[in-house]
Copies of this chain bind each other. A is one copy, B any other.
Amino acid sequence: MKELKVGLLGIGTVGGGTYTVITRNQSEIARRIGGNIRIVQVADRNLELARQITGGQVNVTDDAFAVVNNPEVDVVVELIGGYTIAKELVLKAIANGKHVVTANKALLAVHGNEIFKAAAEKGVIVAFEAAVAGGIPIIKALREGLSANKIEWVAGIINGTTNFILTEMRDKGLAFADVLKEAQRLGYAEADPTFDVEGIDAAHKLTIMASIAFGTPMQFEQAYTEGITKLTSQDIRYAQELGYRIKLLGISKKTEAGVELRVHPTLIPEKRLIANVDGAMNAVVVKGDAVGPTLYYGAGAGAEPTASAVVADLVDIARLQGTSAEQRVAFLGYQLDQQQALPVLPIADVHSGYYLRLRASDKPGVMADVTKILADLKISIDAMLQKEPEEGEAEADIIILTHTTQEKIMDAAIAKIEALPAIDGALTKIRLETLSR
Contacts and interface: CB of A to CB of B under 8 A. Distances in A.
Nearest to A288: B308
B273 A297 contact: yes
Interface string A219-255: 0000000000000000000000000000000000000
A329 B320 CA distance: 9
Contacts of A361: none
Given A25-B149, A140-B141, A148-B308, A32 B273 contact: no
Contacts of A17: 290
Nearest to A310: B148
A319 B308 contact: no
Contact of A326 (B29, B295, B297, B319): B319
Interface in A374-406: none
A296 B324 CA distance: 31
Contacts of A314: 148
Interface stretch (A176-184, A185-193, A299-307, A365-373): A299-307
A316 B148 contact: no
A146 interface: yes
A291 interface: yes
B28 A150 contact: yes
Contacts of A137: 140-141, 144-146, 294
B298 A297 contact: no
A321 B291 CA distance: 25
A333 B316 CA distance: 12
Interface in A14-37: 17, 21-22, 24-25, 28-35
B29 A147 contact: yes
Contact of A327 (B315, B319, B338): B319
Contacts of A21: 148-149, 290
Say which size band chain A's interface belongs to: 35 or more
A295 B292 contact: no
A89 to B, nearest CB: 23
Contact of A298 (B29, B32, B295): B295
A145 B295 CA distance: 15
Nearest to A304: B290
Interface in A318-347: 319-324, 326-330, 333-335, 338
Nearest to A299: B292
A10 interface: no
Interface in A159-185: none
Nearest to A311: B148
A31 B294 contact: no
A308 B291 contact: yes
A1 interface: yes
Contact of A292 (B22, B135, B309, B327): B135
B329 A319 contact: yes
15 contacts: A25-B290, A31-B334, A32-B333, A33-B330, A34-B338, A135-B290, A136-B294, A141-B141, A147-B311, A147-B316, A293-B298, A294-B296, A297-B297, A319-B327, A323-B323
Given A21-B148, A273-B273, A290-B311, 14 more contacts: A25-B150, A28-B150, A35-B326, A137-B141, A137-B145, A140-B141, A148-B308, A271-B276, A273-B276, A289-B304, A292-B298, A294-B297, A294-B299, A295-B298
- Nearest 6 pairs between A and B by C-beta? A137-B145, A148-B311, A294-B298, A135-B291, A31-B338, A291-B308
